[in-house]
């Protein structure tokens, strides 16, 4: 006997925060244009690196918004969970873009070692400060929402990295202005490249966890098993699976062995209500599937795992 307690797949977390992403995208694109012009006029590699990083942010947010739109398409017989994994693939693209940007920046910085060109610090400093202010505003817009969605989290981490990169450019501009040490611009570029990689790795690791259908963070399978076993009438539980379709959409399934006398129409219905209540209080999902098995049949049930 199986039971799927679901009210349909809920809206994805990224889709719920679409307006925030649109606002951040508008701010980011405007600053990228200003910083590119500033980098050309000032000759600053670090400012160009910061602009390139912000351009990757704009591309990432665009991909996230497109993925949220795709993920909103209804499920079908061919795709029973719809297109919600599109958001996870978008987060993967974001992580890979960050890696590429980091490598390009680092390569150009290495090429400039020993031959740092003159830099117009006034323009460099103005564009960097403008970028820092824009990043602070974007962080405030995304704050809180980054806990709900991989894509929003990716955008939040990218903006945070941009803010740190802007501080590096500001520091380089001040050093050059006060000491004439033009190599500070190249050093800041390397710092920016190094700042990008850890964030890319963190995002990539979370994406891989979703694609490999790992248990969501913070979920203790053994604790859930114990709570299910504590429900009256349950004698065993096995083949527990907990995974994530996309950010904010966890899914649960399990085979529950129950006393034979429980499996009448009224008893099964009451048991399922108890199981769903138990699960809902310890694992936040409205999409769970229970297969009820009478104890007398358990020896015929092939288990995939405990």
Judgement on whether residues 164 and 291 belong to the same structural domain of the protein: no
Last residue within a domain, chosen from 150, 182, 211: 211
Query: CA 203 to CA 207: how far, in whole Å?
Result: 6
Specify whether 205 is located in the same domain as 275: no
Model pTM above 0.85: no
Q: Is 115 exposed, middle or buried (0-12, 13-18, 19+ CB in 10 A)?
A: exposed
Task: Output the pLDDT for position 305.
Answer: 58
CB 132 within 8 A of CB 170: yes
> What pLDDT does 175 receive?
92
In-domain check, residue 52: yes
Q: Do 238 and 284 fall into the same domain?
A: yes
Question: How much is the pLDDT for 174?
Answer: 92
E-state strands within the chain: 2-5, 234-246, 249-258, 288-294
pLDDT at 288: 80
CA 262, CA 145: separation in Å to the nearest integer?
44
Output the pLDDT for position 129. Answer: 92
The range of the structural domain enclosing residue 255 comes to 215-300
* Together in a domain, 142 and 238: no
pLDDT tens, the chain, 306 aa long:
555 444 444 455 555 667 888 888 899 899 899 989 988 888 888 888 888 778 877 877 777 677 667 766 777 777 777 777 777 887 788 788 778 878 888 887 787 777 766 788 888 889 889 989 998 998 888 877 656 666 677 777 778 878 888 888 899 899 988 998 888 888 888 888 887 787 778 878 888 888 888 887 777 788 888 888 888 888 888 888 888 877 667 888 888 888 877 777 677 788 888 888 777 766 666 678 888 888 776 565 556 555
Token pair 């259908």 is at which residue?
213
Domain for residue 7, yes or no? Answer: no
User: Nearest to residue 197, comparing CAs of 67, 53, 44, 21?
Assistant: 53
- Same domain, yes or no: 131 and 236: no
Could you give phi then psi for residue 302, rounded to 5 degrees?
-80, 125
Residue 30 maps to a domain? yes
Asked whether residue 114 falls in the same domain as residue 143, the answer is: yes
Same domain, 251 and 288: yes
pLDDT at 283: 67
Which stretch of DSSP H or E encloses residue 134? helix 121-142
Alpha-carbon gap, residue 262 to 269, rounded angstroms: 9
Looking at residue 170, its pLDDT comes to 92
């Amino acid at each position: 006997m199986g039971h799927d307690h679901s009210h349909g797949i809920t809206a994805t977390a990224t889709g719920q925060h679409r307006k925030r992403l649109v606002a951040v995208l508008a701010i980011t694109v405007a600053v990228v244009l200003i910083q590119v012009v500033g980098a050309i006029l000032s000759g600053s590699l670090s400012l160009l690196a910061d602009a390139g990083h912000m351009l990757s942010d704009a591309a990432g947010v665009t991909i996230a918004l497109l993925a949220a739109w795709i993920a909103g398409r209804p499920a079908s017989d061919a795709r029973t969970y719809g297109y919600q994994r599109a958001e996870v693939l978008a987060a993967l693209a974001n992580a890979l873009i960050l890696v590429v940007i980091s490598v390009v920046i680092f390569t150009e910085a290495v090429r400039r070692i020993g031959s740092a060109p003159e830099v117009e610090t006034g323009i460099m400093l103005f564009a960097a400060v403008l970028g820092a202010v824009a990043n602070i505003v974007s962080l405030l817009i995304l704050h809180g929402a980054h806990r709900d969605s991989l894509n929003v989290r990716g955008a939040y981490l990218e903006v945070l990295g941009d803010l740190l990169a802007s501080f590096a450019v500001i520091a380089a501009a001040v050093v050059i202005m006060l000491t004439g040490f033009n190599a500070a611009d190249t050093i800041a570029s390397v710092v920016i490249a190094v700042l990008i990689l850890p964030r890319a790795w963190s995002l990539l690791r979370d994406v891989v966890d979703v694609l490999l259908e790992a248990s969501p963070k913070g979920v203790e399978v053994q604790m859930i098993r114990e709570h299910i076993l504590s429900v009256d009438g349950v004698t065993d539980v096995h083949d527990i699976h907990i995974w994530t379709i996309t950010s904010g959409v966890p899914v649960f399934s399990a085979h529950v062995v129950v006393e034979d006398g429980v499996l009448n129409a009224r008893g099964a219905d009451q048991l399922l209500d108890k199981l769903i209540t138990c699960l809902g209080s310890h694992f936040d999902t409205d999409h769970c599937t229970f297969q009820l098995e009478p104890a007398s049949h358990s020896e015929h049930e092939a288990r995939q795992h405990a």
